[in-house]
Structure 1
Amino acid sequence: MALWDWMLAAYARPGVPETCLTLQDEFGQNTSVLLWAAWARPADAGVFETATRVAQTWDQTTLHPLRAVRRALKAPFPPVADAAREGLREDVKAAELRAERVLVETLEALSGAPADKAEAGDQGSALQALTAAVKAWGRPAPDDALAALAAGLA
């Protein structure tokens, strides 16, 4: 299964969206990198470093600016008509989602197929991969949040 499809299915599991958003908004993590790590579970620390370097650059140049515009467009902006503002917000939201997908496809290309590494019930190796991703990302995240994500993905 392709990473994007796996991520959509994983993100639909109970508790996963909330945990991902907490890790993103409160601890500066990248949801795509975390889910990629749980899916790919690379053994080579260099792969984590390359993936996080690419994702950090993509965040700065593409995702963060799109996300900031989308969030700014949430509130009314008189005299701009609400329907026009909301339409533009939906367009930006679609661009943000497309940018996420481009990043995910890039991460998948860096690591290749997960083979049998992402089997259900393998919470321990998912947690190891999440911990390695956080370390490579360079910003701390709470162990309990990572454990909750690993459990939600297992």
Structure 2
Amino acid sequence: MHTDLWNHALALYARPGVEAACLDLQTLGGDVCLLLCATWLQARGVAVRDGRVTALREIAEPWQRDVVNPLRSLRQQWRSAAQGDAQLAALREQVKGLELQAEKALLERLQERSRQWPAGAHEPMDDWLDRLAPDQARHHDALVELRVAAAALQDAEDGA
């Protein structure tokens, strides 16, 4: 099991189908960083609590709105023009790098906030993905794909 959220997110995102599922969930209004955090918390056996869900959302929402989304929007705006302009393409790649750094910073903030929450809960567990996914994604195939991939990653790390 990856002990930190960033490495868990990288390992999960690299699994087949996860990138496409995350992009679909993002299109549905999902915060991919929150969803990756959800799979990490689930794998660690951290119990879902209303206050914890709220705390994570209070960190993620302003960071997404004020930092990640403006970078993503700029990168997407430049997509077409960058195809015929090498200098703009290079700048677009730099913006893409900044977007990734902003997402990594968000994952670090989410990990820091959840650091003191006890792992290995010995009580029935709610599903973190259900609690952190937007309503319109709760029954979407992409969320199922992410859940299945996260379980497979956990099984692989546990040696099952």
Under a length normalisation based on structure 2, what TM-score does the superposition of the two structures give?
0.79
What CA distance in whole angstroms lies between the structure 1 residues aligned with 2:21 and 2:67? 23
Query: For 1:90-134, what per-residue CA distance to the aligned partner results, in whole angstroms no more than 9, with x for missing partners?
Result: 1101110000011000000111178457xxxxxxx6x81100112
Residue 130 of structure 2 contacts residue 138 of structure 2 at CA under 8 Å; is this kept in 1? no
Choose which of 47, 66, 70 in structure 1 pairs with 2:71.
Answer: 66
The equivalent residue for 1:121 is none
What CA distance in whole angstroms lies between the structure 1 residues aligned with 2:127 and 2:142? 13
The equivalent residue for 2:23 is 21
Percentage identity across paired residues of the two chains = 37
Q: Unaligned 5+ residue runs, structure 2?
A: 152-160
The equivalent residue for 1:145 is 142
**Which amino acid is the alignment partner of residue 48 of structure 1?**
V
Residue 29 of structure 1 contacts residue 139 of structure 1 at CA under 8 Å; is this kept in 2? no
What CA distance in whole angstroms lies between the structure 2 residues aligned with 1:19 and 1:146? 7
Between the two proteins, the alignment pairs up a number of residues equal to 141
The equivalent residue for 1:48 is 53
Q: Alpha-carbon deviation of 1:53?
A: 2.1
What CA distance in whole angstroms lies between the structure 2 residues aligned with 1:112 and 1:34? 17
What CA distance in whole angstroms lies between the structure 1 residues aligned with 2:8 and 2:138? 24
What CA distance in whole angstroms lies between the structure 2 residues aligned with 1:38 and 1:82? 39
Aligned structure 1 segments of 4 or more residues deviating by more than 3 angstroms: 113-117
The equivalent residue for 2:9 is 7
Under a length normalisation based on structure 1, what TM-score does the superposition of the two structures give?
0.82
User: RMSD between aligned alpha carbons?
Assistant: 2.4
1:101 aligns with 2:100: no
Residue 28 of structure 1 contacts residue 139 of structure 1 at CA under 8 Å; is this kept in 2? no
Alignment of 1:30-49 (within 5 A): 30-41=31-42, 42-43=46-47, 44-49=49-54
Q: Unaligned 5+ residue runs, structure 1?
A: 118-124
